[in-house]
Structure 1
Amino acid sequence: MRETAISLIRAGHCVHPQRMTIRDGSWRSVIYPALSVLIIHPVEGPMLFDTGYDPAFFAATQPFPERFYRWLTPVTLAAGSEVASQLTRFGLAPDDIRHLILSHFHADHIAGAHAFPGAAIHCSRAGLDAACSGGRIASVRRGVLRALLPPDIAARARFFEEAPRVALPDALQPFDMGADILGDGSLLAVELPGHCPGHWGLVTNDQAHGEHFLVADAAWSTDAIRRDMPPPAITSNFLGSARRVEATLRQLNALWRRNPAIRLTPAHCPERAAEAGQ
């Protein structure tokens, strides 16, 4: 695989009772950072995997019923900590982002999408269809804020399901197939079902760490992967399918056991957030 340069960016956080995200957790509230990933491709240049939170989240959750989302998952976003502003740390501006890769359409993963109007959007067709279906109450219950979807997303979208299918490196077993979203083998989208419709991760060859698997919300932490400890079924079934969440987590645990050195990055992992420099 062609090498890319990877930087993690922490863009705000929310708080939840820990027990709602891991079965043996406590009932105390803990911080869940929202990570975006800056990927520098040697030909295509800078791109982002997810966006974390953004001031647009607070605008989208001002009316009812969307405000319930803000009440259920209180969000903190310091001034200037949205991804679009943090790009200056890397000598970049939002207009430099040519590709935006969205793991799924929950608000904490797409809130900053509006800041990159010139970027192609790589996403799941099934995920986008689900995000655009149903009424406002149903959308909020599913973790979707439709106001955060770029209005021209249909024209800019490039769907994982339509990208060429390729075999993954042996180091990724038991995951065996990916979608080659740029056509050069450098970014391989991998379906990680269960968390919600159209939930995908991304594999790239990180020049610092080798194979790097961005697993989005397939797990809440690297600790959960190592211990094969899923969320309570009530949490998983609220947004998706507990049965499929647990099956995907078992695969991630099997991958880690087979290859403990592999780099796995969940979107809300505190261990990874500590490396993000923000």
Structure 2
Amino acid sequence: MRRVTLRGFRVGFCRHPQRMAIRDGRWRPVEFPALAFLLVHPEEGPIVFDTGYDPAFFTATEPFPERLYRWTTPPTLGPREALADQLAAAGVAPGDVRHLILSHFHADHMAGTHRFSNAAIHCARAGYDAMCAGSRLGSVRKGMLRALAPLDFLTRARWFEDAPRVPLPADLAPFVEGADLLGDGSFLALPLPGHCPGHWGLALREDAGLHMLVADAAWSSDAIRRDMPPPRLTMALLGDPAATRATLHDLHRLRVRNPDIRLTPSHCPECASEWA
């Protein structure tokens, strides 16, 4: 695997009872940060993994039934806290981003997609199809907002399912196969099923070692360490409980087998503090 660099950004947050994310959590509402990542490739330059929240989220949730999303999971996004604004402040123009990788199609992961208009969009066809299937209310119930997909989405989409398959490094066992997104081994996407249709993670190698962005396969590092899933009701509302449980268990096995690997969930306060 080619080495790349990574930097995380906190792009808004929502508040929800902790118990809905981990079985022995408290019922007290806590903040769940939305993390997005800048990946720098030696030839392709800046690449984005997920986008967090964006002002487009609030526009998309003005009408009904989409407003239900905003009511059930109230988000907060500060001024200039959108990922595109933070990147610009760090010297990375959104128009210079040539690749955007979406772990899945929940709104808190793709709301800023429209800000990266020059980027190829790497994502799962299964996730896109799930977002577009059925009624608007059905999409909202699944945590997806169709209005967040730019009009030229399909012309820029590069499906995970079509990328060449390659074996993963042995240090990532029990995960064995990934999709080589750029064809050079730098970014290997791998399915992490259960949370929702078309949910994938990303494996990469930094100077410090292997790093896997696990998106919402777990909502905290603590859940991975203790192999502690969300309540069954939460898993059932969003996806497939059995697959969610199996994926979390595999992440726990990976961490036990290879304690040096870095596993980063997208809503983990512990991980967010590293980039505060």
The bucket for the TM-score relative to the shorter chain is: over 0.9
How far apart, in 2, do the equivalents of 1:272 and 1:82 lie?
18
Match of 2:33 in 1: 33
1:198 aligned residue = 198
**After the TM superposition, which residues 1-278 of structure 1 pair with which residues of structure 2 at under 5 Å, given as runs?**
1-207=1-207, 209-277=208-276
3-state SS, counterpart of residue 40 of structure 1: strand
CA deviation map 1:182-226 (0-9, x unaligned): 00000000000000000000001112x211100000000111000
Post-superposition CA distance 1:44-86 (Å, at most 9, x none)? 0001000000000100111111111001001000000000000
Structure 2 unaligned spans of 5+: none
Q: How far apart, in 2, do the equivalents of 1:152 and 1:127 lie?
A: 17
DSSP 3-state at the match of 2:4:
strand
Partners in 2 of 1:150 and 1:25 — Cα distance? 37
Q: Counterpart amino acid of 1:260?
A: P
Q: State the shift of 1:89 in Å.
A: 3.6
Unaligned runs of 5+ in 1: none
Superposition deviation, residue 88 in structure 1: 2.5
CA RMSD of aligned residues (A): 0.7
Structure 2 Cα separation of the partners of residues 199 and 158 of structure 1:
15
Q: Secondary structure at the match of 1:238?
A: helix
1:131-162: per-residue Cα shift (whole Å, max 9, x none)?
11111110000000111011111110001111
Aligned partner of 2:164: which letter?
P
Secondary structure (helix, strand or coil) at the match of 2:47 reads strand
Question: C-alpha separation between the residues in 1 aligned to 2:80 and 2:274?
Answer: 19
Whole-angstrom CA distance in 2 between matches of 1:65 and 1:193? 27
Q: Which amino acid aligns with 2:217?
A: A
Question: What secondary structure, in the 3-state scheme, does the structure 2 residue paired with 1:274 have?
Answer: helix
Letter in 2 for 1:231: P
C-alpha separation in 2, matches of 1:125 and 1:250:
25
CA distance in 1, matches of 2:72, 2:206: 35
Aligned AA (2:210): E
User: Runs of at least 4 residues of structure 1 off by over 3 A?
Assistant: none
Please report the TM-score for the alignment, with normalisation by the length of structure 1. Answer: 0.98
Deviates more, 1:29-38 or 1:128-137: 128-137
Letter of the aligned partner of 1:47 in structure 2? I
Give the CA deviation at 1:276.
Answer: 1.7
How far apart, in 2, do the equivalents of 1:206 and 1:149 lie?
A: 31
Mapped partners of 2:206, 2:141: distance in 1: 36
Deviation at 1:241, TM superposition (A): 0.5
Superposed CA offset, 1:9-51 (max 9, x none): 1100001111111000110000000000100000100010000
Whole-Å separation in 1 of the counterparts to 2:89 and 2:259: 32
